[in-house]
Structure 1
Amino acid sequence: MGRRSDHSRAELEALILDEGHKLLAEVGFARFSGREVAKRIGYTVGTLYNIFGSYDVLLATINTRTFEQWAAHLERQLAQDNGDRIASLVEGYFSFATQHPNLWMAIYDHRLPADGVIPEILAERRGVLTDIVVREVEAILPADAREKAPRLARSLVATVHGHCTFALNGSFALLGETDPPEMATARVKESLAAAGAHM
């Protein structure tokens, strides 16, 4: 039997997110199940959708928590101040993905329906990650090029993402590449240099 009266709505939302995030980290997107989350917390699956509205919003909310953890990971990486903040960003991207592969891949494996829209509050919370990259790129661009930072940052993230995906799925190993983070860092710095960045 469900424990419908055991928790307030806010407590229940936190409980679902905590257990959903744990389950996603354990089994990955393909084996994730709202029904399993409900079973683990002792409620019915209907309760999950009553709280979040749909399976897609539940997944989007769980993935948003991953974005926030990833952003915090990048900030910690930057705080170590090794003298090369761009290399630190790239290393932070790779290390988070390597340490949390199921959570990282779930961000990209989950797709909203064609008519689906992510709630604005989730989009804002996810944006913190990109904001970090934009901030670091903007800081090294000449003043007359700083308005290009958001677009350039998105392109650089895509570059690093491709390298990271190839590293995690074994493609680079098959190609004999032994240091994907170094390769990604080199490509990023080439793009930044072409944009006039001072590194």
Structure 2
Amino acid sequence: MARRNQHSREELRGLAIQAVRDLVVEHGLEKLSVRKVADRIGYTAGMLYHVFSNLDDLILNANADTLAQLLDAMTEPADRSARDQLHHMAAVYVAMAREQTALWKMVFMHQMQNAAEVPGWYLEKTAALFARVEHSMAQLAGGQSHEQIHLAARTLWGSVHGIAVLAADDKLVVAGDVNEQAMIESLLQHYLNSWAGE
């Protein structure tokens, strides 16, 4: 690794974000601190505060990488049907919850300290997920208003998220040890049939 004074600001930012991801996978979000991130990459905590405003800023930047990975994996060829796209997105979402649990939880469970507002740049990234769901759902029900599509996308994805939480926490045994992908298929089949008026 390069010596400290050989890292540019952007390189330091990348090192810190990767350290956040590694530490959360190894020890969990609750044990994360700016000092631990700094120690991992051989810098002082004070130096990191020149790049990130606080621990929340560090976490949100790490989460942005996870969201980008999630959205990239969700991308389906444009010629696939809207139903196929939604099924693929849901399967990817639940798979990440199961296979990259710590990073997935950091995205969806992190709470800003001192009730601080989530910055606009990050809200835009999370909105991209719902925009993709809305786009596919709009193709299944002509004539629905923007407000109806907005609500339906969040209702459907809230249900997918609930299954993902159960899968991530290995709590599906409470539901009779049902396979999470089978639950997703059942949810989407019935919800989308209703949504499309079938």
State how 1:27-106 maps to structure 2 within 5 Å: 27-75=27-75, 78-79=76-77, 84-106=84-106
Cα shift at 1:66: 1.1
The aligned counterpart of 2:120 is 120
Counterpart-to-counterpart distance in 2, 1:194 and 1:114: 41
Residues matched between the structures, number: 193
Cα shift at 1:187: 2.1
Counterpart-to-counterpart distance in 2, 1:168 and 1:17: 23
Counterpart-to-counterpart distance in 2, 1:33 and 1:24: 10
Cα shift at 1:191: 2.5
My pick for the range that moved more, 42-51 or 31-40, is: 31-40
Matched, 1:5 2:12: no
TM-score (norm 1): 0.85
CA deviation map 1:84-108 (0-9, x unaligned):
3332222111112122111011123
CA deviation map 1:39-65 (0-9, x unaligned):
121101122222111111111221121
Identity fraction in percent: 25
Cα shift at 1:158: 0.7
**Contact kept? 2:34, 2:54, Cα under 8 Å:** no
Cα shift at 1:197: 5.6
Counterpart-to-counterpart distance in 2, 1:170 and 1:109: 16
Counterpart-to-counterpart distance in 1, 2:90 and 2:18: 28
Counterpart-to-counterpart distance in 2, 1:123 and 1:175: 33
Cα shift at 1:114: 4.8
Q: Which runs of 4+ in 1 moved over 6 A?
A: none
CA deviation map 1:157-196 (0-9, x unaligned):
1101111111222221233232222223322332333233
Cα shift at 1:146: 4.9
Cα RMSD for the two superposed structures:
2.3
The aligned amino acid for 1:136 is S
Counterpart-to-counterpart distance in 1, 2:57 and 2:188: 33
CA deviation map 1:100-121 (0-9, x unaligned):
1110111233101354112212
CA deviation map 1:133-163 (0-9, x unaligned):
1111112121x11522222111111101111
Provide the secondary structure at the position in 1 that maps to 2:113.
Answer: coil
Provide the secondary structure at the position in 1 that maps to 2:88.
Answer: helix
Provide the secondary structure at the position in 2 that maps to 1:141.
Answer: coil
Structure 1 stretches lacking a partner, 5+ long: none
